């Protein structure tokens, strides 16, 4: 997993200078179909959706006496929680202004409680990638693995499209989430 952290750090540093350019490009190339898609896929990074999905998965595993599905659920909840705690702490520490504030990508107000300064890292992206990390570790089914990465990536793109995050916020959130999910899945046998 060290390699995922190293790649995430490298990509984060590489993408940081391009945050404004990517934002400007995305904001000037919107359309009605993308509006509908990204507004809806954005919910897959919301705890009000992900947590019930993991609980329902666990309930299904419990009622069917399927420990692999039950453990998938436990791993998902642990991954979600660990990614969420780390992400929220970093948002507070960094205090990066959200794009819609129009203060620029280099505006930081550390230790700020105002959500308008909680852009870095992306929480929606982090928790959606935690689910992908869990799925990646707990299954060998390539369709599930790549589908989870595709959906998590769509959540990250939605955050940029909806002007809530910069590209580097999403990259860092993806790395944190995937690592948390993957490691969490290893704790639950």
Query: Under DSSP, is residue 7 helix (H, G, I), strand (E, B) or coil?
Result: helix
User: Could you tell me which residues come within 8 angstroms of residue 119 by beta carbon, excluding any fewer than 6 positions away?
Assistant: 91, 94, 96, 97, 98, 99, 164, 165, 166, 169
Q: Is 144 exposed, middle or buried, given 0-12, 13-18 or 19+ CB atoms closer than 10 A?
A: middle
Q: Where are the domains of the chain?
A: 2-187
Low-confidence ranges of the chain (pLDDT < 50): none
CATH of domain 2-187: 1.20.144.10
Contact 172, 12 (CB under 8 A): yes
pTM, entire model: 0.94
Q: Give the pLDDT score at 97.
A: 98
Q: 3-state SS string over 28-42?
A: CCCCHHHHHHHHHHH
pLDDT, position 2: 67
Closest listed residue to residue 95, CA positions, set 120, 72, 127: 120
Distance CA 51, CA 24 (A): 33
CB atoms within 10 A of CB 31: 8
């Amino acid at each position: 997993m060290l390699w995922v952290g190293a790649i995430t750090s490298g990509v984060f540093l590489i993408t940081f200078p391009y945050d404004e350019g990517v934002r400007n490009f995305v904001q000037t190339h919107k359309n009605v179909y993308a509006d509908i898609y990204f507004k809806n896929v954005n919910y897959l990074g919301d705890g009000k959706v992900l947590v019930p999905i993991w609980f329902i998965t666990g309930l299904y595993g419990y009622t069917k006496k399927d420990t692999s599905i039950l453990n998938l659920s436990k791993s998902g909840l642990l991954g979600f929680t660990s990614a969420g705690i780390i992400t929220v702490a970093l948002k507070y520490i960094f205090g990066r202004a959200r794009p819609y504030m129009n203060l620029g990508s280099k505006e930081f107000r550390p230790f700020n409680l105002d959500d308008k300064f909680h852009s870095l890292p992306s929480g929606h992206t982090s928790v959606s990638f935690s689910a992908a990390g869990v799925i990646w570790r707990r299954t060998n089914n390539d369709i599930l693995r790549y589908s989870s990465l595709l959906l998590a990536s769509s959540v990250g793109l939605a955050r940029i499209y909806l002007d809530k995050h910069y590209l580097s916020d999403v990259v860092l959130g993806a790395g944190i989430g995937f690592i948390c999910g993957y490691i969490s899945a290893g704790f639950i046998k």
